[in-house]
Amino acid sequence: MADIAEIAADSRVVASGVSDPRAGLSAAGEFEGYIAAADLDAFLRENLLVESASPNIRLHVVADRPSEPVGLGLVIGDLVDWSRPRESGRALELLKGIEWCC
């Protein structure tokens, strides 16, 4: 199996959620990101990834891979989706840091 750093460096994925630097979380043992549906099968096969009840890699499969960096809204939504106190707290901090206009 490929290690997390190799997976994160793959050009077919873009980091989000716990793996996005703006989240400010230490997630060395986990990766979260987006991948285009057309790239998924080859990516899973090449990295020897299989479904798991407790995964350390969370891929959001979308029609087209977002450009880097993903929008802050995606990062915040992905953090909330973990349903864990650390990630939810960080999502709230990021929301509070947004300068709202008009």
CA 64, CA 46: separation in Å to the nearest integer? 20
Task: Write the secondary structure of the chain as one string of H (helix), E (strand) and C (coil).
Answer: CCCHHHHHHCCCEEECHHHCHHHCCCCCCCEEEEEEHHHHHHHHHHCCCCCCCCCCEEEEEECCCCCCCCCHHHHHHHHHHCCCHHHHHHHHHHHHCCCCCC
pLDDT digits (tens, 9 = 90+) for 1-56: 568 999 999 999 999 999 999 999 987 789 999 999 999 999 999 999 999 998 89
Q: Taking 80 as the threshold, does the pLDDT of residue 64 lie above it?
A: yes
